[in-house]
Amino acid sequence: MIQLIRGFKDILPGEVERWQQIEKIAASRFEDFGFKEIRIPMMERTELFARSIGEDTDIVEKEMYTFPDRKGDLITLRPEATASVVRSYVQHKMFAKDPVQKFYTIGPMFRRERPQKGRYRQFYQINVEVFGVASPLIDVQLIFMLVTLFTRLAVADLKAHINSLGCPACRPNYRAALSKFLAAISNKLCSDCRRRRRRNPLRVLDCKVPSCREVLAEAPSIIDYLCDYCQEDFAKVQEFLKKLQIPFLVDKRLVRGLDYYTRTTFEIQTGSLGAQSAVAGGGRYDGLVKMLGGPDLPATGFAIGLDRLAEVAEIRHSEFIRMPDLFVAALGEQSQDKAFEWICQFGRQGLVAEMDFEDRSLKSQMKRADKIGATHVLIVGDQELQEGAVILRNMLTKEQTLIPIKEVVDRVKTYIKREAQ
Ligand code: AMP
């Protein structure tokens, strides 16, 4: 038997409805806040990710699915969506019409990480990006939108972790202080970090190796090095999070070690996830639009890990699993033919209707109706056809109603819809 690739997974019916429901609620929440959907390709030129994510990151160094296509061009299965959304914003000169653009996108990402619970090689993200707004209030709005969405999806034990990464004016001082600290502890760092320490010391703070994380707990905090402007900006973020009653924690370990990331960065964590506690992460990346060939415009955004969200969203099954509204139990060839026409008509009218195609006994058809959870059964046989009326049975109350065959589709529909109210 051929099995799926390690780190990949199927999302089966029963589970997929939960995903659909989350996607639907998220999309409608984002649209309420003025976001529009954008769809971007699953593959891009490798260069796009190498340049935007950064050459000496875990993702680019060892996690990308990169291969030459038949002509030898290097292409990569996207490990994240931001780079593609920025590329699209720049390529289509969307900024010319209005620099302020707000997008969301949902889809799979690919990273060749070590698979474990909550970490897959193909995983799904819901991404949100805002272009052209420099105010820290938009970062607050993103965090607010995330937290309210997660609350709506009944995710327990939520906390927003926030930090500021400063700006090109204040970061060099911090970089110098951090370099000094890293030089002193360099023998305790992993080999990747020893190399990164010289090329991009901020990167070291991103390392996932536990021994590195331990020694880095003592690293200087960027908060102590922020310039006046960045301090004010970060204070405003905190002031408005408090105003909007969003619980948060200033977390100096939260960094994205890339030069184009600026000021606010955040992660939403939940206690229900165990080790992989981050269910969403994001922040400001003011330098990226320019870096990818566009004008110097600010940008900010976040990514939700949909796999992890589906695991912790406590929305009830009854909210999204659709049971069949109707099972048509048909006895005899003529009734079967009629039943088939009806289930097609019911489907067109928005009722989920099933039947048995094997012409089994009434008893076994009723059993099947019960097994698939049909709320109603329509019983039709030769006698009913002759008399011009069929029996509609409510499986819960056992109530039976006679329905004239001539108007069966309309009458059953009205009956079931009225009961559902
Ligand atoms: P990142 O793009 O690394 O900032 O990740 C954003 C979110 O995507 C994280 O908070 C996770 O919830 C999710 N995520 C990242 N990598 C994986 C993965 N390999 N498997 C499942 N979810 C992931």
Domain borders along the chain are 16-170+226-317, 322-414
Atom of ligand 1 nearest to the CA of 82: 2
What is the per-residue pLDDT across 340-355, written as a single tens digit (0 to 9) for each? 999 999 999 999 999 9
Residue 259: per-residue pLDDT: 67
Atom of ligand 1 nearest to the CA of 80: 2
Residue 276: per-residue pLDDT: 67
Superfamily of domain 16-170+226-317: Bira Bifunctional Protein; Domain 2 (3.30.930.10)
Atom of ligand 1 nearest to the CA of 309: 12
Q: Say how many Å lie between the CA of residue 107 and the centre of ligand 1.
A: 12
Angle at 199 between CA 196 and CA 200, to 5 degrees: 75
| Contact (CB, 8 A) for 62 and 79 | no
Atom of ligand 1 nearest to the CA of 268: 10
- CB within 8 A of 297, min separation 6: which ones? 95, 99, 131, 132, 289, 290
Residue 9: per-residue pLDDT: 95
How far is the C-alpha of 135 from the C-alpha of 233, rounded, in Å?
A: 8
H or E segment to which residue 362 belongs: helix 362-371
Spell out where 92-220 has E strands: 101-110, 122-131, 158-164
Of 233, 237, 226, 238, nearest in space to 166 by CA? 226
Phi, psi of 402 (to 5 degrees): -90, 130
Residue 383: per-residue pLDDT: 92
Residue ranges of the chain whose pLDDT lies below 70: 257-259, 275-276
Q: What is the best residue among 59, 269, 276 to mutate for testing ligand 1's pocket, by most ligand atoms within 8 Å of CB?
A: 276
How many CA atoms are closer than 13 Å to the CA of 306, on its beta-carbon side? 26
Q: Say how many Å lie between the CA of residue 311 and the centre of ligand 1.
A: 13
Of 414, 379, 418, nearest in space to 398 by CA? 379
- CB within 8 A of 180, min separation 6: which ones? none
**Which pair of tokens denotes residue 220?**
């200087």
How far is the C-alpha of 421 from the C-alpha of 416, rounded, in Å?
A: 9
Angle at 144 between CA 138 and CA 147, to 5 degrees: 145
Ligand 1 atom 7: the closest Cα is on which residue? 305
Q: Measured between alpha carbons, how far is residue 69 from residues 65, 76, 374 in Å?
A: 12, 10, 50
Share the mean pLDDT of the chain.
92
Domains 16-170+226-317 and 322-414 share a fold: no
Instruction: Find the Cα–Cα–Cα–Cα dihedral 284, 289, 290, 293, rounded to 10°.
Output: 160
Q: What is the pTM of this model?
A: 0.87
Residue 202: per-residue pLDDT: 84
The strand pairing partners of 300, in sequence order, are 130, 284
Of 67, 85, 88, nearest in space to 77 by CA? 67
Angle at 118 between CA 269 and CA 145, to 5 degrees: 35
Phi, psi of 243 (to 5 degrees): -60, -40
Residue 275: per-residue pLDDT: 66
Q: What is the best residue among 58, 78, 119 to mutate for testing ligand 1's pocket, by most ligand atoms within 8 Å of CB?
A: 119
Give the DSSP per-residue string, 314-343. Answer: ---GGGTPPPPSEEEEE-SHHHHHHHHHHH
- CB within 8 A of 397, min separation 6: which ones? none
Answer CATH for 322-414 from 2.60.40.1180, 3.40.50.800, 3.40.50.1980, 3.10.20.600 = 3.40.50.800
Q: Where does ligand 1 bind, in terms of residues with CB under 6 Å? A: 80, 111, 113, 118-120, 123, 125, 278-281, 303, 305, 307-308
Residue 257: per-residue pLDDT: 60
Of 353, 305, 352, nearest in space to 150 by CA? 305
Residue indicated by tokens 């089966």 = 12
